[in-house]
Amino acid sequence: MGRRPAVVAHRGASEVSPEHTLAAYRRAVEAGADGLECDIRLTADGHLVCVHDRRIDRTSNGRGVLSTMSLEELDSFDWGSWKNPWAELDDEAELPDSDMTKVLTLEKLLATVYDAGRPLELAIETKHPTRYAGLVERRLIEMLDRFGWAHPKVGSESPVRVMSFSWLSLRRMRVLAPGLRTVLLMDRVPLRFRDGSLPTGVSYAGPSLDIVTAHPEYVDRAHKHGHQVHVWTVNTEQDVRHCRDIGVDALISDRPELALEVLAEDPADAPSAQPEQRKTLKDRLRARR
């Protein structure tokens, strides 16, 4: 049995805490996650913030397009109460504080990783398309440089890797910081890369869970080309077991605590994931029709 997959907390421990808040990331670190994942967007005044959506409506009490707003404007909204709108009626609910309600800047998240007291990786996804195009990647390199993570010395590795569905974004990263690892995210594998190869300069494959459920052999193909496979988003016990059994290198999960618990079990004592996986995929395909 090889090394277990690394567990990367998707937007923090986002099943429990509001996604992309400092509270969600601190919970993931405390749970023992091997890495953290975040999405970044650029504000109108040039700050990188950890927010997934183009609009802020879903995860804050504000409205509008993030890229048109300043950091000060974004900081005036509540980014956590949507997760548990009934908290004020629950005597046992955790009282929200600034870690749970304030918009999180990438700088603050990088500082959290830097001060973690143990090795901790950070997977940063650049969101495209955006009105700021290549400025996102330039600002990202500037920020990583402040922590000494943009240009690792020969023989060393930055704790940061950059992910994107946009090959153009990853190509910009290759030009700006050739020493950084990159991950091509895929919700489908382009025909020319189904043999497990990747575009020149891309370090790792980032297929969806659906891809490796339907085509588990893709993992071996990527490994034969020297690429790691990082799968998103893995949230059930059976999916965690499936990813472990087919040899993925990292799984990205909203539930890092659950993933770590499942991966700690003896595989010989665990139920087989395969029959459940086939059923799950069939159900997913039916639901899409």
CA–CA distance, 108 with 103 (Å, rounded to integer): 10
Q: How many CB atoms lie within 10 A of CB 267?
A: 12
Angle 106-114/135-146 helices, nearest 10 degrees? 30
CA–CA distance, 219 with 208 (Å, rounded to integer): 12
Q: Among residues 47, 52, 223, 225, which one is catalytic?
A: 52
Helix ranges (H only) for the chain are 22-31, 71-75, 98-101, 106-114, 135-146, 167-176, 209-214, 217-224, 237-246, 256-263, 274-288
Residue with tokens 């670190």: 29
Q: Among residues 10, 20, 230, 242, which one is catalytic?
A: 10
Residue with tokens 């091997």: 34
Three-state secondary structure call for residue 38: strand
Active site (annotated) includes residue 52? yes
CA–CA distance, 176 with 31 (Å, rounded to integer): 34
Cα dist from 188 to 194, 209, 232, 261, 266, whole Å: 10, 10, 12, 29, 32
Catalytic positions are 10, 52
